[in-house]
Amino acid sequence: MSRSGIWYTKNISIKNSALQAPKLFRRTSHIILDNVHFANAEETMWTCNDIKITNSQINGNYFGKDSQNIYLDHVSVVENYVFDGAENIEVHNSTFISKDAFWNCDNVTIYDSIIDGEYLAWNTNNITLINCKIESDQGLNYIDHLEIKNGSLIHTDLAFEYVSNLDVELNTKMDSIKNPISGKITVPEIGTLIIDPDKVDPSKTELDCPKIGTKIVHSDTNQTPKD
């Protein structure tokens, strides 16, 4: 398939196919893809609307940028910056190996999935992760409304920085948590807890954790305090 194909199209369905060129699907709506392999999905599916992808493999940077109303089930995504700036995303039974995934998004719900990649979901509003396994260096920061139910955050450090309206229930140890703004965190163990009262109000975050290794009350001196 040629580069930069399928732009400005409505109502398209593709099944059991290999799509091998970058920059496919731009400003396209009502897209159904099943059992599709994107061998090179770089800058693909930009500014699209009403997308359903099932049983598919996606390889390429910046997939799904600025798109809306997205449904994934049994999808594997490899490469970085997936769904930057996207809205209204629902994901089931999928795997993401992606740095900077789900940045600048609104309304993301992910079920029964695996996410591996640093800096997950920065600057996103309303993200829910249910029964998910996550590994993310400095992941899940600068978020408003973060919900995690029955989640595993392994090898994840400096998480929840400047995150407000937390509702987090984890079933594994966290390496470190840094300066959450508000909400509740339930976790069996924290390696290092950083709560700097010059940056955040500690009383606004309820922490249910029976075991905390190290507590630190000072953090970066160049950061602006948050309400």
In a domain, 227, yes or no: no
* pLDDT score recorded for residue 220: 74
226 within a domain of the structure (yes/no): no
CA–CA gap between residue 65 and residue 86 (Å, rounded): 6
Predicted pLDDT at 221: 53
- Report if residue 65 sits inside a domain: yes
Residue 225 confidence (pLDDT): 60
Helix (H, G, I), strand (E, B) or coil at 32: strand
What is the domain range of residue 64? Answer: 10-216
Report if residue 4 sits inside a domain: no
Q: How many structural domains does the chain have? A: 1
Average pLDDT across each block of 10 residues of the chain; the chain has 227 residues. List them in order.
Answer: 81 95 95 97 97 98 98 98 98 98 98 98 98 97 98 95 98 96 98 96 97 91 59
Nearest to 191 by CA among 152, 144, 158: 158
Whole-number average pLDDT of the chain: 95
Question: Is residue 35 assigned to a domain?
Answer: yes
Would you say residue 221 lies in a domain? Answer: no
pLDDT at 223: 58
What is d(CA 159, CA 179) in angstroms, rounded to the nearest whole number? 9
Q: How many CB atoms lie within 10 A of CB 112?
A: 15
Which tokens hold the place of 21? Answer: 């060129």
d(CA 153, CA 160): 11
Tell me: the pLDDT tens digits for 138-183?
Answer: 999 999 999 999 999 999 999 999 999 999 999 999 999 999 999 9
158 to 6, 11, 120, 150, 165: CA distances (angstroms): 41, 43, 12, 20, 17
Domain presence at residue 5: no
CB-based burial label for 74 (10 Å; 0-12, 13-18, 19+): middle
Q: Is residue 223 part of a domain?
A: no
